[in-house]
Amino acid sequence: MPSLPLRRMVLTAAAGAVLLSSAWIGPSRAAEDAVVIPAPTADLPAADGTQTAVLAGGCFWGVQGVYQHTKGVLNAVSGYAGGAKETANYSASGTGATGHAESVQVTYDPKVISYGKLLQIYFSVVHDPTQLNRQGPDSGTQYRSTIFVQNDAQKKIAEAYIAQLNTAKTFKKPIATTVESGKPFFVGEEYHQDYLTLHPNQPYIVYNDAPKIEALKKIFADNYRDKPVLVRDAKATN
C-alpha cells in the first residue's frame, strides 16, 4: 500500500498511544459518540432498480465501513466530491484547498433500505453532524459534514430532516451539515477501498472507526449485516 501522508501517520501513532495508555482502564471509545435519533418524518418512496447517495462525514474509511455493514447497500465506494476531477486524489484533497471532501458513494436497493434510513444512520453513528470541518482527530474542509444530493428529491428530504432534527433539538448544538448539489463523485484510490475490513487492527481504525460498526449493530440492529459488502467483491462480480 502506498505510504499515507505524514499527518495521517501521526494520527495513527497517536491513536495507538491512546489505546496503550487506556489498556488498563477499559475499552477505547470512538472519537464521536453515537446518538439515538428519530427517523425522518419524510422519506423517498421505494422504487425499482438501484439508487445512489453520496455522503461525507470525516475520514472515508469509517463512513465506508458503516455502510458496508448496512443491509440493502449493494456497494459503498470511497472517493472525493466537491471539487474538480484533476484534484480528486488523496494528496491534493489533503491540502484542504481543492473543494473536495472525503466522501462515500453508497449504491443501495430502495426496496430494502430507504434514503431516509441512510441519512438516519449518517447523523446517528457515522459522525458528529454538529461539527462542520472536523471529525475526531481530523480537521479541514476535506473532512466536512456534507450530503452531496443527487437530485431535487434527495435535496428536499435531506433539508427537511436537518430542519426536523434542529427543531427537536436532538443534538446539543445545531446541525452543521451542508447540502451540496451538482457535485460529481470521483472514485478514490484502490488502497483506500475496504480499508476498515482490510486493516482491522490499525490503531486509527480500532479507536475511531470500529466503535461505529458496534454502534450500528446496537442502534440499528434490523439494518445491520455482519458480513460487509466489499468493493473488491463487487468488482469480481462485474
Query: Which positions are annotated as active-site residues?
Result: 59
Q: Of 157, 137, 142, which Cα lies nearest the Cα of 53?
A: 157
Q: Which residues contact 225 (CB under 8 A, 6 or more apart)?
A: 69, 70, 71
| Single-letter residue type at 192 | H
Sign for the pseudo-dihedral over CA of 234, 210, 8, 73: positive
| Single-letter residue type at 236 | A
Spatial distance between the Cα atoms of 146 and 183, rounded to a whole number of angstroms: 11
